Amino acid sequence: MHEKCGVVGVSLAEQDAARPLYYALYALQHRGQESAGIATHDGFQQYDHVDVGLVGEVFDPDDIESLNGTNGIGHVRYPTSGGLGACCAQPFSVSFKSGSLALSHNGNLVNADEIRDELAELGHAFTSNGDTEVIAHDLARNLLEEDLVRAVKHTVQRIHGSYSLTIMHDDTVIGVRDPRGNRPLVIGQVDDGYILASESAAIDTLDGELVRDVRPGEMIVLEDEGDGFDSYQLVTKDTHAHCFFEDVYFARPDSVIDDQLVYEARRQLGRALWEQEGVDTDVVIPVPDSGRAFASGYAEAAQDEGKYVEFAEGLMKNRYVGRTFIMPTQDQRERAVRLKLNPIKSTVEGKSVTLIDDSIVRGTTSTQLIDIINDAGADSVHVRIGSPAIRAPCYLGIDMASRDELIAAGKSVEEVREKIGADSLAYISADAVAETLNKADTDLCFGCVTGEYPYDIEGEPADRDVSRPQVDQL
Ligand code: 5GP
Ligand code: MG
């Protein structure tokens, strides 16, 4: 199960947590549209409301009203292909001898089955096949014997893979990021306390201030009464595995990741794309909305070099058509692209066009758009892409597609160009991505690009030493 999701947690002095959590989840809706949930605690008991649907559909005012307490966590879950529904909605809650526990998880464990089997043998009963429940049970078990910090530390030593977690144990809210920091997590200060969230846009929504990113391997404990937070560096790795796809596609452009505004990173990548792979055409048009920032940087860099190139909207998006990516059949996905994007004929007719998008995954979008733009009378269509070619699956939280669905898997750029019907095609290099994000390439996860992963994934090669200590015998 590959889940990219959104997580949030707050601890406030006086205000009830539910409403700020609800707004924060709204701000993170792009990270998951399948289900949403909030768990709060008032010092005596935990309250939950979790259901399938968009944030605006899941909570009505009465639900928010019934979620008592100044502390809480929330979750939005991304739709993936099978085995879905209410079973996997989060926060995932368990109550046990030493209290209550609720967990929100973004990411994907690579050794969940192993731990589940061990815990099942010890009598733990599992209600889902999700990895979040595995974390919850492991942690609950540790909490029977040790304090929260030690319990989390021991769980972190056992679980492997990508995770950004918000956890509530009784009324204590904590955040944890996996030792390689694959998925994002930030801390912010709001009027009445502190917030943990997948992206800083959620903090903005609450008129808060971004404090900083949670560090890879770090645990943050929000103090009760919204007074501050404590930090515990549980594990330190010499290399990290930041997911570049967050910066390129997934995160909101108005979020700040590692001190860099995502919109600016994308514009810079667009500039680098011109510098590396520029092609002289009459007009540059973005694929809305994901290609916009890249296209504006690209066109600006071309103009800086004295090229006369128009930067224009050549495609209009019907905002009421969503989620073409996850439609089950190829035929439906193709129809959906046509429904979603319509060309502005005068922008492209009789012109050479550069079409810019953030990524090519299955190739549906670019194939269809090249067709549409050609039909609208373009002379030629050149495609420039703001990420490297995606050639391998993601096991760490971005639900891309299986290897045989990826158009670039096992193909050269020229072969992909031919397949999508472009006059020319170029991708940005992985080096330019690393440079733009101000990171060493050994601190990034390029698994979907190289097919080599910074985590120990069964049946796949690793791009570094990913050996791990033997899982402690329970
Ligand atoms: P393709 O049509 O090639 O399969 O997918 C590429 C398009 O889908 C791009 O426009 C990109 O913005 C978008 N995209 C890339 N990754 C994802 C994803 O994980 N989910 C969704 N919904 N769209 C994606
Ligand atoms: Mg797109």
Average pLDDT, the chain: 92
89: confidence class by pLDDT, cuts 50, 70, 90: confident
Query: In 10 A of CB 241, how many CB atoms?
Result: 27
Are residues 279 and 189 both part of a single domain? no
CA atoms of 33 and 54, how far apart (whole Å): 5
Tell whether the model's pLDDT for residue 82 goes beyond 60. no
pLDDT of residue 299: 98
Contact 109, 135 (CB under 8 A): yes
Q: Which atom of ligand 1 is nearest to the CA of 290?
A: 12
Q: Which atom of ligand 1 is nearest to the CA of 398?
A: 19
Beta carbon of 363 within 6 Å of any ligand 1 atom? yes
Contact 426, 385 (CB under 8 A): yes
Query: In 10 A of CB 336, how many CB atoms?
Result: 21
Tell whether the model's pLDDT for residue 76 goes beyond 60. yes
CA atoms of 71 and 253, how far apart (whole Å): 28
pLDDT of residue 337: 84
pLDDT of residue 474: 41
CA of 28 to the centre of ligand 1 (A): 18
Nearest bound ligand to CA 360?
Answer: 1
By annotation, the residues acting in catalysis are 5
Place of tokens 């993601």: 394
139 domain-assigned: yes
**Lowest pLDDT segment from 96-110, 290-304, 326-340, 417-431:** 326-340
Mean pLDDT value of segment 264-269: 98
* Number of compact structural domains in the chain: 2
pLDDT of residue 339: 86
Residues, the chain: 474
DSSP reduced 3-state for 453: strand
CA of 239 to the centre of ligand 2 (A): 30
471 domain-assigned: no
Are residues 211 and 290 both part of a single domain? no
Q: What is the CATH number of the domain that holds 214?
A: 3.60.20.10
Top mutation candidate among 5, 80, 246, 249 for ligand 1, by most atoms within 8 Å of CB: 249
247 domain-assigned: no
Q: What are phi and psi of 377, to 5 degrees?
A: 100, 15
CA of 284 to the centre of ligand 2 (A): 16
Q: Which of 260, 311, 297 lies closest to 386, judged by CA?
A: 297
The predicted-structure confidence for 440-460, as pLDDT tens digits, reads as follows 999 999 999 999 999 999 899
For residues 188, 69, 170, 181, the Cα torsion angle rounded to the nearest 10 degrees is: -20
The predicted-structure confidence for 142-176, as pLDDT tens digits, reads as follows 999 999 999 999 999 999 999 999 999 999 999 99
81: confidence class by pLDDT, cuts 50, 70, 90: very low
472 domain-assigned: no
Mean pLDDT value of segment 228-234: 97
Contact 274, 301 (CB under 8 A): yes
Mean pLDDT value of segment 428-438: 98
Contact 188, 255 (CB under 8 A): no
Are residues 273 and 201 both part of a single domain? no
Mean pLDDT value of segment 427-437: 98
Mean pLDDT value of segment 456-472: 81
pLDDT of residue 471: 47
CA atoms of 148 and 170, how far apart (whole Å): 11
Tell whether the model's pLDDT for residue 324 goes beyond 70. no
322: confidence class by pLDDT, cuts 50, 70, 90: low
Are residues 338 and 227 both part of a single domain? no
Beta carbon of 362 within 6 Å of any ligand 1 atom? yes
pLDDT of residue 468: 73
458 domain-assigned: no
110 domain-assigned: yes
Q: How far is the CA of 338 from the CAs of 218, 300, 313, 459, in angstroms?
A: 45, 29, 16, 38
CA of 425 to the centre of ligand 2 (A): 17
85 vs 418: which has the higher pLDDT: 418
**Lowest pLDDT segment from 28-37, 251-260, 390-399:** 390-399
Instruction: Identify whether 91 is preceded by a cis peptide bond (ω within 30 of 0).
Output: yes
Contact 132, 57 (CB under 8 A): no
Q: What is the CATH number of the domain that holds 297?
A: 3.40.50.2020
Are residues 432 and 324 both part of a single domain? yes
400 domain-assigned: yes
- Residue ID of nearest Cα to ligand 1 atom 4: 362
**Lowest pLDDT segment from 73-87, 301-315, 374-388:** 73-87
pLDDT of residue 3: 54
Mean pLDDT value of segment 404-408: 94
Top mutation candidate among 3, 361, 419, 425 for ligand 1, by most atoms within 8 Å of CB: 361
71: confidence class by pLDDT, cuts 50, 70, 90: very high
**Domain span at 367:** 263-450
Q: What predicted TM-score, i.e. pTM, was given to this entire model?
A: 0.94
Are residues 174 and 298 both part of a single domain? no
Tell whether the model's pLDDT for residue 323 goes beyond 60. no
Q: Which of 452, 454, 449, 451 lies closest to 465, judged by CA?
A: 454
- Residue ID of nearest Cα to ligand 1 atom 5: 361
2: confidence class by pLDDT, cuts 50, 70, 90: very low
Tell whether the model's pLDDT for residue 83 goes beyond 60. no
- Residue ID of nearest Cα to ligand 1 atom 22: 325
129: confidence class by pLDDT, cuts 50, 70, 90: confident
CA of 342 to the centre of ligand 2 (A): 14
Query: Which token pair is 20?
Result: 């700020």
Q: Which atom of ligand 1 is nearest to the CA of 399?
A: 19
For residue 260, the surrounding DSSP H or E stretch is strand 260-261
Are residues 276 and 393 both part of a single domain? yes
CA of 291 to the centre of ligand 2 (A): 7
Q: Which of 68, 278, 42, 37 lies closest to 166, judged by CA?
A: 37
Mean pLDDT value of segment 205-222: 98
For the range 413-418, what are the long-range contacts, defined as Cβ-Cβ under 8 Å and sequence gap of 24 or more?
A: 413/389, 416/360, 416/363, 416/389, 417/383
pLDDT of residue 470: 53
- Residue ID of nearest Cα to ligand 1 atom 24: 325
Nearest bound ligand to CA 359?
Answer: 1
% of the chain residues with pLDDT over 90: 83
Top mutation candidate among 250, 323, 341, 359 for ligand 1, by most atoms within 8 Å of CB: 359
Tell whether the model's pLDDT for residue 79 goes beyond 90. no
CA atoms of 192 and 12, how far apart (whole Å): 5
Are residues 343 and 212 both part of a single domain? no
- Residue ID of nearest Cα to ligand 1 atom 9: 359
CA of 361 to the centre of ligand 1 (A): 6
Q: Which atom of ligand 1 is nearest to the CA of 363?
A: 3
Q: Which of 376, 281, 402, 340 lies closest to 2, judged by CA?
A: 402
CA atoms of 346 and 353, how far apart (whole Å): 12
